[in-house]
């Protein structure tokens, strides 16, 4: 019995052993398979991306190389440009997607809020022509005011919103596809502020609010500026996010030697660098042996070189490649990396077709919320489209009435709220504009002028505005004041106005150009009312009626002055009578301006025509017509401009002119003195070719151009000789540039008969 049991026991032992062996083999195979399919335990990897303006494009190159090596990124902490690039990556975009999105834009225009000139309202284009000094100044409460930043960042915000539209404006940054932090600085206390919730684009924009350049942002009651002033390389923030390994990317600008600091601006820049360098050094000192520091070699790429994206991205790639061995140790298999990417948290993203439940508009300043609502063609129930909303709000910023207009889309399902915030210019309500003009031929013959513009918009909630334009010059004095009242809530307006202008003019015989017959002052007083009709973004048409008084006062002449017998006077030489006249006239004008630039236009055209017709008067007709046109085209860096100007009396007593035109000076018969020739009839043409020999989007000069001009035309005193000669001509060569105070030209011109002129010109000329 015992033997039998022992035999059975032996069989059971063998069977159990076989079963255990099979189970053990199965478990081993299962464990082996699990090891292949599941990612092994790996450290939590976090990026710390520093600020540095345009140099921050290098971060894109680093991200591209991390993707190539299959290095997962578990969290991101960024400052300034590092916060901008980091926000896009944290939203779920890839490095290639970020680069592609940015490469389709003129990044200099985005960074510096420059709009295409053709898209601006006609009033803004006119101000652009008259007042080239680009420093905004305001007046209010008895003091002059300036913006708190040269750039408001509206286009940057729109760019970030367009590519993070699926992220609501009240998100917890830990719930993003990649957890994220943006570092800013409290302007009042200097404390570092780590942004971890709210609007993703707004957080990145606040982190990049470089003092003096980008306006600060207000978040949760705190006024925030660039985080670089407190923590330009936020390694400790990355550590606080649970990083086991930090990959720190420092793209800060290197300090300059003492002999390289040669201006006040350079001293200021060096002070900012010193401040940032000290906090970066402290952060770098906290790096552990397992952390990785990348320092891309960006060479001469500066903070403001936003057009150098390709080179900056490549420098980031190269920097990461130099650490391939250490970065490669953090990589996972292609399958594991694809799985990690596919499983990034997307729960926070808005579902496709999310609808707006409510619209809230907050308008701060003189501009009423109704004006914002009028521009915003969005209502409750519409599908939320961030690009569409920003496109409509951009039209408001182009009007020049606002400092910033932005929106957020937040709230729980069923109560999604589109919130729009519009801020009128903080440096108002009175806006001042400036321009200067200076011309000389270095022989004592020249002219100087100062242009001052005043704009007071939205005096009433219906849109009443007041405009003043003043010219103070050695040859020209003038003041025009105008009220504009929109009609019936439309863009059509009524404009009562008054103006006075005094300018020096010289009178020549039609066949003589050596010496003037007279030098005298022309004065024009005008009061009237116009109806203005904007033609979209093309231009404007105006029609109206005015009372006009024109008089002439001889300064030095061989002319004879006569008394009309009624208290008025006239000056006569041969067939030409310069009478003092008072007329009631009807006016019509049309201006279409599609030039891309008012100084060195490379494409587009300008057409400006007007006429006045006598309705009633005391001393004869005042029928005058004029037209100016300019056409521009380019190929590569070469451009050609063609201009024409014509004008004169078209009826009545043509030998008693109501207005005198002038020729002479740069781009107006350049070989001759400023406004050397005057007469009641003018015909002038110009052909200019120029090439851009250098380009800069920041600094004191924005591009240098060189070119030549061929010019011809004249003014005539008699209608019978109009356009029949004699003709004056000029050929000139020049070098020019655009500066912060306007265009600057230096050139040499010649005309038949040995006439030569070396000229210097500051300011615009048609």
Which helix (H) or strand (E) segment holds residue 745: the answer is strand 742-751
Q: What is the DSSP secondary-structure string of 475-542? A: SEEEEEEEEEEESTTSS-EEEEEEEEEEEEEEE--TT--SS-SEEEEEEEEEEEEEEEEEETTTEEEE
**C-alpha count within 13 angstroms, C-beta hemisphere, residue 178:** 28
What is the Cα–Cα distance from 712 to 726, expressed in whole angstroms? Answer: 11
Preceding omega of 357 cis (within 30 degrees of 0): no
Q: Is 80 a catalytic residue?
A: yes
Q: Look up residue 165 and give its two tokens.
A: 């539209």
What is the Cα–Cα distance from 362 to 457, expressed in whole angstroms? Answer: 19
Give the CA dihedral 190, 196, 201, 207, nearest 10 degrees: 20
Q: Is 382 a catalytic residue?
A: no
Catalytic position from the list 80, 304, 404, 577: 80
Q: Look up residue 83 and give its two tokens.
A: 């916060």
Q: What is the DSSP secondary-structure string of 629-678? A: EEEEEEETTEEEEEEEEEEEE-SS-TTS-S--EEE-STTSSTTS-TT-EE
Which helix (H) or strand (E) segment holds residue 315: the answer is helix 309-321
Spatial neighbors of 66 by CB under 8 A, at least 6 apart, are 73, 95, 247, 320, 327
Distance of CA 573 to the CA centre of its chain: 53
* DSSP summary character for residue 398: H
Catalytic position from the list 74, 113, 128, 226: 226
Q: How many CB atoms lie within 10 A of CB 451?
A: 23
Distances (CA, A) of 118 to 25, 75, 153, 434, 688: 76, 43, 20, 22, 22
- Total number of residues shown for the chain: 766
Distances (CA, A) of 613 to 502, 531, 621: 22, 16, 8
Closest of 221, 180, 197 to residue 90, by C-alpha:
180
What is the Cα–Cα distance from 127 to 124, expressed in whole angstroms? Answer: 5
Helix (H, G, I), strand (E, B) or coil at 760: strand
B/e letters for 77-86, b = 16+ CB within 10 Å, e = fewer, are: bbbbbbbbbb
Which helix (H) or strand (E) segment holds residue 340: the answer is helix 334-342
Distances (CA, A) of 269 to 55, 254, 264, 266, 678: 15, 11, 9, 5, 51
What is the Cα–Cα distance from 681 to 725, expressed in whole angstroms? Answer: 12
Contact 689, 670 (CB under 8 A): no
Q: Look up residue 667 and give its two tokens.
A: 């781009």
* DSSP summary character for residue 380: T
Separation of first and last alpha carbons in the chain: 125
Contact 54, 253 (CB under 8 A): no
- Mind telling me the catalytic residues? 80, 226
């Amino acid at each position: 019995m015992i033997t039998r049991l022992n035999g059975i026991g032996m069989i059971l032992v063998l069977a159990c052993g076989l079963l255990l062996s099979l189970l053990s083999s199965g478990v081993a195979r299962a464990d082996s398979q699990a090891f292949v399919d599941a990612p092994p335990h790996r450290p939590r990897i976090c990026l710390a991306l520093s600020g540095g303006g345009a140099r921050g494009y290098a971060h894109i190159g680093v991200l591209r190389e991390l993707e190539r090596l299959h290095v997962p990124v578990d969290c991101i902490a960024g400052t300034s440009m590092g916060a901008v690039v980091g926000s896009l990556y944290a939203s779920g975009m890839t490095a290639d997607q970020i680069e592609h999105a940015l490469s389709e834009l003129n990044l200099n225009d985005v960074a510096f809020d420059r709009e295409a000139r053709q898209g601006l309202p006609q009033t803004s284009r006119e101000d652009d022509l008259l007042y080239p000094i680009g420093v905004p100044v305001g007046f209010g409460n008895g003091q002059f005011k300036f913006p708190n930043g040269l750039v408001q960042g509206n286009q940057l915000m729109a760019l970030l919103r367009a590519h993070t539209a699926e992220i609501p404006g009240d998100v917890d940054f830990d719930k993003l596809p990649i957890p994220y932090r943006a570092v800013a600085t409290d302007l009042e206390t200097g404390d570092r502020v780590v942004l971890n919730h709210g609007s993703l684009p707004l957080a990145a924009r606040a982190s990049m609010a470089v003092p003096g350049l980008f306006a600060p942002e207000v978040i949760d009651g705190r006024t925030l500026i660039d985080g670089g002033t407190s923590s330009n390389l936020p390694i400790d923030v990355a550590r606080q996010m649970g990083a086991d390994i930090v990959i720190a990317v420092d793209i800060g600008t290197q300090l300059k030697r003492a002999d390289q600091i040669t201006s006040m601006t350079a001293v200021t820049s060096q002070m900012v660098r010193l401040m940032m360098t000290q906090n970066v050094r402290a952060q770098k000192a906290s790096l552990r042996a397992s952390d990785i520091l990348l320092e891309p070699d960006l060479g001469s790429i500066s903070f403001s070189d936003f057009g150098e994206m390709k080179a900056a991205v490549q420098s980031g790639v190269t920097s990461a490649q130099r650490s391939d061995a250490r970065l490669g140790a953090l990589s996972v298999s292609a399958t594991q990396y694809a799985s990690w990417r596919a499983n990034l948290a997307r729960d926070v993203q808005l579902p496709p077709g999310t609808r707006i439940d409510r619209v809230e508009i907050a308008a701060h300043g003189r501009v009423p919320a109704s004006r914002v609502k009028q521009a915003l063609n969005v209502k409750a129930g519409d599908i939320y489209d961030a690009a569409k909303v920003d496109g409509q709000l951009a039209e408001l910023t182009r009007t020049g009435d606002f400092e910033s207009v932005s929106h957020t889309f937040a709230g729980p399902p069923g109560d999604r709220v589109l919130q729009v915030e519009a801020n009128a210019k903080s440096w108002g309500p009175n806006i001042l504009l400036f321009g200067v003009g200076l011309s000389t031929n270095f022989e004592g013959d020249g002219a100087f002028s100062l242009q001052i513009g005043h704009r007071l918009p939205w005096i009433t909630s219906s849109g009443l505005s007041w405009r003043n334009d003043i010219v103070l010059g050695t040859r020209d004095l003038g003041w025009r004041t105008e009220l504009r009242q929109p009609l019936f809530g439309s863009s059509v307006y009524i404009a009562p106005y008054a103006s006075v202008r005094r300018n020096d003019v010289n009178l020549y015989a039609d066949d003589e150009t050596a010496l003037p017959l007279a030098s005298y002052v022309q004065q024009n007083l005008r009061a009237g009312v116009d109806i203005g009709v904007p033609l979209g973004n093309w231009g404007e048409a105006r029609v109206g009626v005015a009372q006009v008084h024109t008089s002439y006062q001889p300064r030095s002449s061989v002319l004879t002055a006569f008394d009309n017998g009624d208290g008025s006077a006239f000056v006569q030489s041969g067939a030409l009578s310069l009478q003092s006249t008072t007329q009631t006239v009807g006016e019509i004008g049309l201006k279409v301006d599609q030039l891309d630039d008012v100084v060195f236009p490379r494409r587009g055209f300008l057409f400006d025509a007007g006429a006045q017709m006598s309705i009633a008067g005391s001393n004869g007709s005042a029928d005058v017509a004029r037209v100016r046109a300019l056409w521009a085209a380019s190929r590569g860096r070469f451009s050609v401009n063609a201009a024409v100007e014509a004008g004169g009396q078209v009826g009545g007593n043509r030998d008693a002119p109501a207005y005198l035109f002038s020729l002479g000076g740069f781009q107006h018969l350049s070989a001759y003195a400023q406004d050397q020739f005057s007469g009641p009839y003018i015909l002038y043409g110009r052909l200019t070719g120029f090439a851009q020999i250098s380009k800069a989007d920041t600094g004191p000069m924005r591009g240098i151009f060189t070119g030549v001009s061929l010019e011809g035309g004249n003014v005539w005193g008699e209608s019978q000789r109009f356009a029949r000669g004699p003709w004056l001509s000029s050929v000139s060569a020049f070098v020019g540039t655009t500066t912060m105070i306007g265009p600057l030209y230096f050139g040499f011109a010649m005309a038949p008969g040995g006439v030569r002129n070396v000229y210097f010109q500051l300011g615009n000329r048609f």
